[in-house]
Chains A and B, each alone.
Chain A
Amino acid sequence: MNPATIEVSHLTKTFGERKAVDDVSFGVARGEVFGFLGPNGAGKTTTVRILGTLIAPTVGSAVIAGIPLEPAWAAEIRQRISIMPESPGLYQRLTVTENLEYFARLYGLPGRQERMKQALEAVGLTDRAHDLCGSLSKGLRQRAALARTLLNDPVVMFLDEPTSGLDPAAAHEVHDLISGLRDRGVTVFLTTHRLDEAERLCDRVAIMNSTLRTIGRPDELRQQLFSRSLAVTTAAALARPDQVFAGLPAVQGWRATSSPGRGPAGYELTVTDPDKAAPAVTRSLVAAEADVLSIAESRRTLEDVYLQLVDDTDNTKARS
């Protein structure tokens, strides 16, 4: 793994009595696309704002792009990172170019015109460069905001819900841009509600709900949380499923996933090794003269992982 670009240690942020972020620690490697997931109010945006030097942590420390997260170094950190907040935050009465030029000057960038040209090309906005931002569609504004975050060639880019409110086509374009950033070695810290987005784009994800619930690669998280299983569908319900599934190699248990009645019936079998279990299950079903429609390994999504963890948090909160 590449050396860490972001190292966070015991980060806590309190607003009055409420802990928005509670003792969160993690690291993000250089060039990694790191997903930060959680329900509304989970502390995602607060964490981004802390790491982006906009607000100070109550407790804890962090190192961003090799610089300690301290007030004295805040401007140095801001020079090396860029943040795209959830709202594009463009000046509606200025053109795209004027918006970019303003920020290029705020960063004190040399070769402003070339940087702006490259940023506009990267997001495919060259032909709209002289349009007023107020006249752009939401998707184009999001792209203009993304171009703004590219200007200073950041080491770390924080993207807060970059596809929020975008239609699928516009969201797809933003996904391609983020993939392109990874290829350029930019570390991307992505907060999102969209689990399909995280699963598709992120090398690792963290799921938080004030505290960090889990962190890892999406496939790792699925394996950690859910036992492996086979999904079996037959044309009609089995007369004696206990006998069909009992004693088969690598099969630990089963449950019906459909209501009894006419029509196809579903069963989920908990297995230790799907490759070993599937042939044995098939033979047993054939022996029982069942009409098998399908046998496949169940695939848990990141959404299942997310819901499981968030439900756990909610249950824990309800109990306490």
Chain B
Amino acid sequence: MMSMSATRVTAVIRKELAEFRRNRLIIITASILPLIFLVEPTVDILTIKASASTAALDRRVELSLFLPLLVPVLLPAILSAYSVVGEREQGTLEPVLTTPISRLELLLGKAAAIFMPAIAVAYLIFGVFVAITQLGTASAVATAVLHAPQLPAELVFIPLLAAWTIWVGLAISARVTDTRVAQQLSLLASLPPFALTALMSFQIIRPTFGLAAALAGGLLAIDCVACLAVARMFDRERLITGPQH
């Protein structure tokens, strides 16, 4: 029996990151989407008049803080959905499965390779957004952004949402036979926790500390066991012998 190998997991991470770097489409997608989700809310906040009412100000801040939350959902959904079925389509999965790598090692490596850049970009966007609003707006607006209750909550939810999306995407990618179907299903499957976060962000559901903590705890628990569940869904035989599109 072979134990879990950090070398093999690291090898997968390095390979995945190298492939991302060389794929112009991924670079463009990973750059443009976050830029849109940075520029739009930043402009929105910068154009708020200092005389705006507190209610109007809070509403704009809510929306501005919500949009960057799409980054840890959209990017990982696309990348993770491609991850297994894409390799299968280009014929690179079978040689990998002939090596001693375990299902869990392969999936952990793939998940980590998506998780790291996704949350790095998401935090970068939040950081730049907060920095610009602090430097470029009236003190009332800057204070409203900095003290918005959504800010710390969303910082916690970024990695949790990203992890959820990645595991769901990998699970779908390991079961379907077409990349496009995988990406569509993955985007759909990432919506439920995202929608709940949105409802709290817009205070349709009152975001009490208890509710936010319960949701975060639930997502964390799901993320932790998801790797094992997805590894069980990863059926070598089905992936090798199943129908090709």
Cβ of A258 < 8 Å from any Cβ of B? no
The one of B11, B14, B98 in contact with A54, judged by C-beta atoms closer than 8 angstroms, is B98
| In the complex, chain B residues whose CB is within 8 Å of the CB of A85 | 91, 94-95, 98
Cβ of B53 < 8 Å from any Cβ of A? no
Which residue on B lies nearest to A55, using beta carbons? B237
A102 and B2 contact, CB distance less than 8 A: no
Cβ of A94 < 8 Å from any Cβ of B? yes
CB distance from B158 to the nearest CB of A (A): 28
CB distance from B22 to the nearest CB of A (A): 4
A55-B241, A75-B1 known; A82 and B19 CB under 8 Å?
no
Cβ of A26 < 8 Å from any Cβ of B? no
Cβ of A19 < 8 Å from any Cβ of B? no
Q: CB within 8 Å of B: which of A82-102?
A: 82-85, 87-94, 98, 102
A49 and B241 contact, CB distance less than 8 A: yes
| In the complex, chain B residues whose CB is within 8 Å of the CB of A24 | none
Which residue on B lies nearest to A107, using beta carbons? B99
Number of A-B pairs, beta carbon distance below 8 Å: 88
Cβ of B236 < 8 Å from any Cβ of A? yes
Q: How far is the CA of A293 from the CA of B100 in the complex (A)?
A: 62
A49-B240, A55-B240 known; A83 and B19 CB under 8 Å?
no
| In the complex, chain A residues whose CB is within 8 Å of the CB of B8 | 105-106, 108
A49-B240, A55-B241, A106-B11 known; A93 and B98 CB under 8 Å?
no
| In the complex, chain A residues whose CB is within 8 Å of the CB of B101 | 106
Cβ of B10 < 8 Å from any Cβ of A? yes
A78-B98, A90-B92 known; A98 and B18 CB under 8 Å?
yes
Which residue on B lies nearest to A134, using beta carbons? B22
Cβ of A183 < 8 Å from any Cβ of B? no
| In the complex, chain B residues whose CB is within 8 Å of the CB of A106 | 8, 11-12, 96, 99-101
A93-B23, A102-B15, A108-B5 known; A54 and B94 CB under 8 Å?
yes
Q: How far is the CA of A91 from the CA of B12 in the complex (A)?
A: 12
Q: How far is the CA of A81 from the CA of B99 in the complex (A)?
A: 9
Cβ of A103 < 8 Å from any Cβ of B? yes
Counting contact residues on chain B (CB < 8 A from A), the size range is: 20 to 34
| In the complex, chain B residues whose CB is within 8 Å of the CB of A46 | 241
Chain B's interface: helix, strand, loop or mixed, by majority? helix
| In the complex, chain B residues whose CB is within 8 Å of the CB of A79 | 2, 100
B91 and A15 contact, CB distance less than 8 A: no
Q: How many residues of A contact B (CB 8 A)?
A: 35
Cβ of B51 < 8 Å from any Cβ of A? no
A94 and B19 contact, CB distance less than 8 A: yes
Q: CB within 8 Å of A: which of B224-240?
A: 236-237, 240
Q: How far is the CA of A56 from the CA of B56 in the complex (A)?
A: 64
Cβ of A196 < 8 Å from any Cβ of B? no
Cβ of A266 < 8 Å from any Cβ of B? no
Q: CB within 8 Å of A: which of B1-36?
A: 1-2, 5, 7-8, 10-12, 14-15, 18-19, 22-23
B19 and A91 contact, CB distance less than 8 A: yes
Q: How far is the CA of A53 from the CA of B96 in the complex (A)?
A: 12
Q: CB within 8 Å of B: which of A201-231?
A: none
CB distance from A54 to the nearest CB of B (A): 5
Q: How far is the CA of A76 from the CA of B2 in the complex (A)?
A: 7
| In the complex, chain B residues whose CB is within 8 Å of the CB of A55 | 236-237, 240-241
| In the complex, chain A residues whose CB is within 8 Å of the CB of B15 | 91, 94, 98, 102
A87 and B91 contact, CB distance less than 8 A: yes
Q: How far is the CA of A49 from the CA of B241 in the complex (A)?
A: 9
Q: How far is the CA of A106 from the CA of B93 in the complex (A)?
A: 13
Cβ of A30 < 8 Å from any Cβ of B? no
Max chain A C-beta neighbours (<10 A), residue from B15, B93, B95 = B95
Cβ of B47 < 8 Å from any Cβ of A? no
CB distance from B106 to the nearest CB of A (A): 9
Cβ of B102 < 8 Å from any Cβ of A? yes
A49-B240, A75-B1 known; A103 and B94 CB under 8 Å?
no
| In the complex, chain B residues whose CB is within 8 Å of the CB of A35 | none
| In the complex, chain B residues whose CB is within 8 Å of the CB of A89 | 90-95
CB distance from B25 to the nearest CB of A (A): 11
| 18 sampled A-B residue pairs with Cβ under 8 A | A46-B241, A75-B2, A76-B2, A78-B100, A79-B2, A85-B94, A85-B98, A87-B94, A88-B91, A89-B95, A90-B92, A93-B23, A102-B14, A102-B15, A105-B7, A106-B11, A107-B99, A107-B100
Q: Which A residues are within 8 Å of any B CB, using their own CB?
A: 15, 46, 49, 52-56, 72, 75-76, 78-79, 81-85, 87-94, 98, 102-103, 105-108, 145, 148
Closest 4 A/B residue pairs (Cβ): A105-B11, A93-B22, A87-B91, A89-B95
